[in-house]
Each structure stands twice: as structure tokens, then as C-alpha cells.
């Protein structure tokens, strides 16, 4: 049986320096500072899982942001999906994954970028020509409405505007074909991950997501141990 494990990264498998614990392993450095971490136990479990089944990180990070993650000296996933499904990475190579979905929305992405108010947003950029990322200024906390046919998703101060069909669920279906997977495990922590979780055979959602139809986890070790025991 061919088994695929598709997993979100930030706040699911790895975490920022704000939540760093004493023995955590650094897996990302940005601007000379240690940025992201994984626990030794989680890394050990992930290595054991990857030796048995296909492990593919599926992230909303840009390609460049994903490639900043260096994992461990003797472990690095060969495959990954970046930009919320727009790109499939195979080692050093990358290919368009859902670009046919993105292209019809190019003008709308540019229109929404041009309309982004600097008084509201501290960051406004189109990520890998695939979707619009906005970050609200710290002193702005009002509701924001967008006149657009893009899919709008908000996580705290961060807002994402995705072309219709550019989601982790669509990416997962393509991964299923690539790996001819008979069974799929998936894990995530936010609403952006829901399309992927809904298409998996066994899905794990962070307890803060409040998705009752999925298995709940508090730490990555929770779902990694479950997956390892199942494979």
C-alpha cells in the first residue's frame, strides 16, 4: 500500500522562536537570526515516518521561504508543495502545480494589490505571482471588506486573497495522483488547511482550529506518533 503524509509546516510541524523550548532544534535562520524550530522528538518521529511512507510538506510559504528551512543534517524531504499549491518542488527543481488556476486571476490580484491602503497594511505583496498577502498594522483592528472574486482568508493580522481553486485540497488531489497513494494522512492548524484535511483519509487538526470531525492535536508529537503506529 502506498501511503502519503501531507503536512502543513508553521504552527503544525514547526514553530517560531516565540514558542521555542530549551532543547528545540533550529531549522530556519532569517536575517541572521534563528527563526523556526522543531522538537527533537518530533524530528525523530518524522524521520521514522519518512522512511516508511511519502512525506510531503504542504505550505502557504513562498518557494524562497520554504527553501530557507534546512531541516537536519541527515534529513530533508525531497518533495514539497509551496505557495498554497501553486508550486511542486522536487529537490532543487520546481514546477507549476496549479498555475492554470492562478493565471485567470492575475489582473484581479494586481487590482487588489494596488487598492491596498498603506494606512491599514504594513505588508502588501503578491507571493510567487500566485496570491496576495496582506498584514494589518498593529494598531488596526477593524473589519475589512474586499470587493473581489478572490477567496479571502484571515488569520489574526494576516490576510490572504487566493484565486478560486488555489488551495491545499486541490494540491493534495494532484499529489495523490503523483504518488498513486492508496491512503492519505494530513495535518494542519488553520482554516487554510481545511481543504487538505477534508480530502485526507485520516486528518489531524490543531485543537485551536475546533474542527470536530478531525482528530485533535496539541503538539506535533501527538499526530506523528499516531501516524507512525499506523504505518
- List the domains of the chain with CATH numbers: 3-97+176-230 (3.40.50.1000), 102-162 (no CATH)
Give pLDDT, residue 211: 78
* pLDDT reading at 204 higher than 90: yes
Question: At residue 10, does pLDDT exceed 90?
Answer: yes
Element counts in the chain: helices (H) and strands (E): 7, 15
Return d(Cα 1, Cα 34) in angstroms, integer. 39
Question: Above 90 in pLDDT, residue 69?
Answer: yes
Could you report the per-residue pLDDT of 132-155, keeping only the tens digit for each? 999 999 988 888 999 999 999 998
pLDDT of residue 73: 80
Query: Looking at residue 86, what DSSP letter applies?
Result: T
Backbone conformation region of residue 129, classed left if phi is above 0, alpha if psi is from -120 to 50, else beta: left
DSSP SS3 for 77 = coil
- Per-residue pLDDT reduced to its tens digit, 98-135: 878 999 999 999 999 999 999 999 999 999 999 999 99
Q: What's the average model confidence in pLDDT over 76-84?
A: 96
- The pLDDT tens digits of the residues spanning 211-223 come to 788 999 999 999 9
pTM for the full predicted model? 0.95
User: In the predicted model, is pLDDT for residue 206 greater than 90?
Assistant: yes
pLDDT in tens, 25-35: 999 999 999 99
**Contact of 37 with 14, CB cutoff 8 Å:** yes
Contact between 198 and 184 (Cβ < 8 Å) = no
Amino acid at each position: 500500500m502506498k501511503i502519503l503524509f501531507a503536512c502543513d509546516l508553521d504552527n503544525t510541524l514547526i514553530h517560531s522562536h516565540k514558542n521555542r523550548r530549551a532543547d528545540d532544534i533550529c531549522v530556519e535562520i532569517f536575517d541572521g537570526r534563528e527563526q523556526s524550530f522543531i522538537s527533537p522528538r518530533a524530528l525523530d518521529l518524522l524521520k521514522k515516518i519518512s522512511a516508511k511512507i511519502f512525506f510531503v510538506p504542504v505550505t502557504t510559504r513562498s518557494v524562497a521561504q520554504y527553501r530557507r528551512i534546512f531541516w537536519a543534517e541527515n534529513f530533508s524531504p525531497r518533495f514539497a508543495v509551496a505557495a498554497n499549491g501553486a508550486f511542486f518542488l522536487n529537490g532543487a527543481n520546481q514546477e507549476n502545480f496549479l498555475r492554470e488556476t492562478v493565471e485567470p486571476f492575475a489582473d484581479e490580484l494586481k487590482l487588489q494589490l494596488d487598492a491596498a491602503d498603506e494606512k491599514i497594511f504594513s505588508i502588501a505583496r503578491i507571493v510567487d505571482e500566485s496570491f496576495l498577502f496582506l498584514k494589518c498594522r498593529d494598531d488596526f483592528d477593524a473589519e475589512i471588506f474586499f470587493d473581489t472574486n478572490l477567496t479571502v482568508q484571515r488569520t489574526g493580522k494576516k490576510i490572504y486573497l487566493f484565486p478560486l481553486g488555489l488551495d491545499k485540497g486541490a494540491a493534495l488531489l494532484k499529489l495523490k495522483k503523483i504518488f498513486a497513494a492508496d491512503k492519505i494522512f494530513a495535518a494542519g492548524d488553520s482554516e487554510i488547511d481545511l481543504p487538505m484535511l477534508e480530502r485526507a483519509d485520516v486528518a489531524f487538526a490543531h485543537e485551536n482550529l475546533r474542527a470536530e470531525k478531525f482528530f485533535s492535536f496539541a503538539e506535533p508529537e501527538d499526530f506523528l506518533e499516531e501516524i507512525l503506529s499506523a504505518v
